[in-house]
Amino acid sequence: MNKVEKVALVTGAGSGIGRAISLRLLEDGFAVVLVGRRRTALEETAALGPASARTTILPADISKMEEVDALFKKVMQEHGRLDVLFNNAGVFTPSASIEDVSLENWQAAVDVNLTGAFLCTRAAFRLMKNQTPGGGRIINNGSISAHVPRPHSATYTATKHAITGLTKATSLDGRRYNIACGQIDIGNASTDMTDKMERGILQANGSTAIEPTFETRYVADAVSYMASLPLHANVQFMTVMATNMPFIGRG
């Protein structure tokens, strides 16, 4: 009997953490579905993978239900199953004190960071529940902001706190179907989005400070471990961060 191919889907796979995770899962032998809004960026990620890797590029806006439903239908048609979903796609809206946050920016953050993760989780859950063999794993990219905020970050912080609730609810609902759900909370992994931290970023006391970062390959190591576990074992929550970043004691 042929070994069943393991399939992973990564959202926000065109850059940063999503790209690093995608490449690591390819190295681990997964067939990886690369999802993001920009096809060119997804193609660049695929080109960086091992020559023997199997990738599927599916551009989609995960904030739109019809695109998510079509995306997972294509996954089922192409691969016949899904073993791992890494909910990674997210946006930062402009930094602002809460009284200056526009409804437009609030909604933009909710649409991608929370609704997008929910829509992908729901679609993956349905697929994992009914496939043979059944079950699978969903890993959510939380954040240090799922624990504590930065100044002027109401939209991002609120959505990332909500991701923790989604993780817990999914984990509970998944028990009877052999669907495991966990969350990785990442602090200051070095990407284009953290460049400003190395130049100086606003602190809770009003000062500006340079914050340490760390290489994304260690995030990839962590997600690789989470994805490698048998379904009767789960990392419920994991925090991976620059050792000296201002998290413990923040504020």
Q: Any catalytic annotation for residue 218? A: no
User: Which one of the listed residues 156, 177, 218, 225 is annotated catalytic?
Assistant: 156
Structure tokens at 133: 């063999």
The per-residue DSSP string of 41-56 comes to: HHHHHHHHS-TT--EE
139, 226 in Cβ contact below 8 A?
yes
Please tell me the distance from the alpha carbon of residue 190 to that of residue 15, in angstroms, as a whole number.
Answer: 12
Residue type, 71: L
Cis upstream peptide for 133 (omega within 30°)? yes
Torsion of CA 172, 225, 17, 6, to 10 degrees: -80
CA-closest candidate to residue 140, choices 85, 93, 189: 85
Please tell me the distance from the alpha carbon of residue 58 to that of residue 116, in angstroms, as a whole number.
Answer: 15
Please tell me the distance from the alpha carbon of residue 202 to that of residue 209, in angstroms, as a whole number.
Answer: 7
Q: CA distances (Å), 250 to each of 15, 147, 203, in order?
A: 28, 10, 8
Structure tokens at 248: 């413990």
**Active-site amino acid positions:** 156
